[in-house]
Amino acid sequence: RALAQIREVAGYMASVEPDGDAWLLIESHCPICVAAQQCQGFCRSELQVFQAAIGELGQVQRVEHLITGDRRCVYRIRATPVS
């Protein structure tokens, strides 16, 4: 939820919702979309930053991507199983 709040302030119209044993971070707007269309590095870096923020507590996977034709960007965040 904290990550969604940070992204909301940055203009991404972000929210979170439960998805079974995971959470979805939903970004309904991308203020850097034009730049991201020219440089996919922005999107790769974004995913890496999210994973770094979650750390070893979980796994972040992009499941929808605005640049590839989806209507928004969505990330599934699933907790790392405790062994």
* CA gap 32, 45 in Å, rounded: 13
Identify the domain containing residue 6 by its residue range.
Answer: 2-79
Q: Is the pLDDT of residue 82 over 90?
A: no
Number of domains in the chain: 1
Q: What are 49-72's pLDDT values in tens digits?
A: 999 999 999 999 999 999 999 999
* β-bridge partners, 26: 15, 74
pLDDT band at 30 (very low <50, low <70, confident <90, very high): very high
pLDDT of residue 5: 95
pLDDT band at 19 (very low <50, low <70, confident <90, very high): very high
pLDDT of residue 40: 82
* CA gap 13, 24 in Å, rounded: 13
- For the chain, give the mean pLDDT: 93
